[in-house]
Structure 1
Amino acid sequence: MAESVLKNYSGQVNFRNLMFEEFAEAVQDIETKLIQRFGFLRKEGIEPDFEMILASVDSKGKASMYLFDNKGLAEPVHYNPGFAIIGRGTATGGVLLTRLLGYSVEESSELDLGMLSTFVIDMVSEVDPSVGPFVGESVFMRILNGEVSMGSLKVEELRKYKKRVRVRKDLIKLMQKLCDQEEIKEEGVRSKLEELRSKK
C-alpha cells in the first residue's frame, strides 16, 4: 500500500524522486490509509502487529525518515533522534548502543553510519536470537552527480565492515580493562584518547 501511494505521488511529478515536502505529503496520505485499515481490523477483533520505516533523500540531499507504529501513525525522526530502529531488541539493544556510542544528528557527518549500523546490528544479534547478524542487506541512498542514487553494499565492503566490527569490539573490551587498572583508570584512558584526537 505504501509503495502504491509513493508511486502515485512520483507519477504526478514525472516519476522523479520526491522532494522533502512532497514526501511528507505522501507520508500523510499513507498514514491516513493505515489508520483507516487498522481501525477496520480492530473492529473485526484483529490487533495489528506493525512497524514500518519510510525514508528518502531528495535531489538537494535533504533526508526524510518516518517511523510508523501499530496504529498507523507516522512520527518524523529525521531531525530527532535522527535514526529509526524497529523490531525486537530495539530499546534494550539498538537504542541503548546508539546512545552509548554517542550518535547525534549534529555529529553524524563525522561518523561512518554504515559502520555504526553494522556494529549495532552485530552486537544485538549476539544476545537476541530473533535478530539476524548483519549480512549486507543494507541499501544506501546518496546524492551522486546531482542525482539520487541507491544500491546494495558490495561484498568487498561487507568484508571490511565485518572485520572492523571485530576490531572495535576488541578495542571496547581493552578500554574497559584499562579503566580497571589502578595505575591507569578512566582519566589515563581519557588523556590518551584526547591526545590521539588532537592529532587528527
Structure 2
Amino acid sequence: MAEDIQRRLPARYRELRSLGYEPEASLIVAAVDGDGNPYIFRYSGGILDDRTEDGYAMVGIGRDTGGVLLLSLLGYGPEATWDMGLLALLLIAAVNPYVSPLAAEADGLYIRWQDGKVVMGPLEPEAFQEYKQRAKKRIQLIRALWQLAETCGEEAVEKALEALKSAGEEAKS
C-alpha cells in the first residue's frame, strides 16, 4: 500500500502543476515490512523522502519532536512485546495537532508485527480505550520514576528496579 501511494502521489502533483495549480501538502505514510521494521516515506513541498529506520517510525513534524526520538529513547524495536509505538503516538498527539489522536474511524487501521508477520486490521474501540488507559498509567509511572531519580538518586532507583525485576522473575518460575 505504501509503495502504491509513493508511486502515485508525485504523478498526481505533476498533473496538478501542469494545470496551473501549486498544491501544498505534507504527508507521512508508514507501513511495516516483512521483517517487522517500519517503512516510511514523507512527501512535503514536492520532495519525496524515502527511508527505512531500524525499529523506529517517524511520527509528527521533525525528528526531534516526533516519534523517532521517543521510540529510540524508550528502546523500541520489532522484537519488543510491548507496543511503544502506540505510546509514542499518543504522547505526540497530545502536543502536536498534526498527528492524529486516533479519534476518528478512519484512524482505526493498525499495522503491527505479530507472530513473526505483518498484520493490518481494525483497531477495535474497546482495545484502543484499554490501551489509552494503560498508556496513561505508564506515563504516570515514567514521571514517578523520573521524580524518584531526582529525590533518591539514579543508583538507588536502579537498585530498587533490579530487586523488583528479580522478584517478578522468581514469581514467574
Short-chain TM bin:
0.5 to 0.7
2:121 corresponding residue in structure 1: 151
1:46 corresponding residue in structure 2: 22
Q: Does 1:73 align with 2:48?
A: yes
Task: Report the CA distance shift for 1:102/1:42 in structure 2 as closer, same or farther (over 3 A).
Answer: farther
Q: Cα offset for 1:69?
A: 2.5
Q: CA RMSD in A?
A: 3.7
Report matched runs for 1:101-112 at 5 Å: 101-103=74-76, 105=77, 108-112=78-82
Q: Cα offset for 1:37?
A: 4.6
Report matched runs for 1:1-200 at 5 Å: 6=4, 30=7, 34-39=9-14, 41=17, 44=20, 46=22, 48-55=24-31, 65-70=39-44, 71=46, 73=48, 75-77=50-52, 80-88=53-61, 91-103=64-76, 105=77, 108-113=78-83, 116-135=84-103, 137-140=108-111, 150-181=120-151, 184-198=152-166, 199-200=168-169
Stretches of structure 2 that go unaligned for 5 or more consecutive residues are none
Q: Cα offset for 1:157?
A: 1.7
SS at match of 1:168: helix
Task: Report the CA distance shift for 1:37/1:159 in structure 2 as closer, same or farther (over 3 A).
Answer: closer
Work out whether residues 67 and 75 of structure 1, in 8 Å CA contact, stay in contact via their aligned partners in 2. Answer: yes
Give me the identity figure in percent.
Answer: 26
Partners of 1:64 and 1:138 in 2: how far apart?
Answer: 15
TM-score normalised by L of structure 1: 0.61
Task: Report the CA distance shift for 1:177/1:98 in structure 2 as closer, same or farther (over 3 A).
Answer: same
Work out whether residues 140 and 153 of structure 1, in 8 Å CA contact, stay in contact via their aligned partners in 2. Answer: no
Looking at secondary structure, tell me which structure has more strand per residue: 2
TM-score normalised by L of structure 2: 0.68
Stretches of structure 1 that go unaligned for 5 or more consecutive residues are 7-25
SS at match of 1:110: coil
The aligned length equals 163
Partners of 2:111 and 2:81 in 1: how far apart?
Answer: 15
SS at match of 1:92: coil
Work out whether residues 112 and 120 of structure 2, in 8 Å CA contact, stay in contact via their aligned partners in 1. Answer: yes
SS at match of 2:72: helix
Task: Report the CA distance shift for 1:180/1:85 in structure 2 as closer, same or farther (over 3 A).
Answer: same
